[in-house]
């Protein structure tokens, strides 16, 4: 079990390294980048973003607020249920997502087996 915990620590440090690179190069955190990535497929509700990213609803709300303040997404009311909010990438969000290329992020050794060649689509 100790070996597993040590490996998890190394993975956490590696993910933190990726987070710092995203912040330094693109001005977004890892969770913000993941939310933008989810929205590249189209309009989603906050609960759908939370589900796709594995974030809790409270944390996801904070991430959505942050990327809204950075003017990377737009908010709209649901057509059937006006209480439901939906989010989509705006032009700036699409540009930001295109800027983020895994080739410009140094992948730590421990994560290379997971990322493979990391070819962008």
CATH of the domain at 80: 1.10.10.10
For residue 57, CA distances in Å to 25, 75, 118 come to: 27, 17, 29
Tens of pLDDT, residues 34-93: 999 999 989 999 999 999 999 999 999 999 999 999 999 999 987 777 778 999 999 999
pLDDT at 115: 76
Q: Is residue 58 part of a domain?
A: yes
Question: Using 50, 70 and 90 to split pLDDT, how confident is the model at 117?
Answer: low
Asked if 30 and 19 count as a contact pair (C-beta separation under 8 A), the reply is yes
Of 106 and 46, more confident = 46
pTM score of the predicted model: 0.86
Domain range for 22 is 2-106
Q: Which residues pair with residue 85 across a beta bridge?
A: 77
Q: Is residue 34 part of a domain?
A: yes
Residues contacting 47, CB < 8 A, separation 6+: 57
Q: Is residue 116 part of a domain?
A: no
């Amino acid at each position: 079990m100790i070996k597993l915990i040590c490996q998890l620590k190394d993975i956490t440090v590696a993910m933190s390294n990726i987070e710092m690179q995203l912040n330094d190069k693109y001005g977004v955190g890892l969770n913000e980048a993941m939310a933008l990535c989810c929205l590249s497929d189209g309009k989603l509700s906050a609960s759908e973003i939370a589900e796709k990213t594995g974030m809790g609803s409270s944390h996801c709300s904070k991430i959505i607020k942050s990327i809204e303040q950075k003017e990377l997404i737009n908010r709209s009311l649901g057509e059937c249920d006006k209480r439901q909010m939906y989010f989509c990438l705006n032009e700036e969000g699409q540009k930001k997502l295109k800027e983020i290329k895994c080739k410009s992020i140094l992948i730590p050794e421990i994560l290379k087996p997971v990322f493979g060649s990391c070819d962008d689509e």
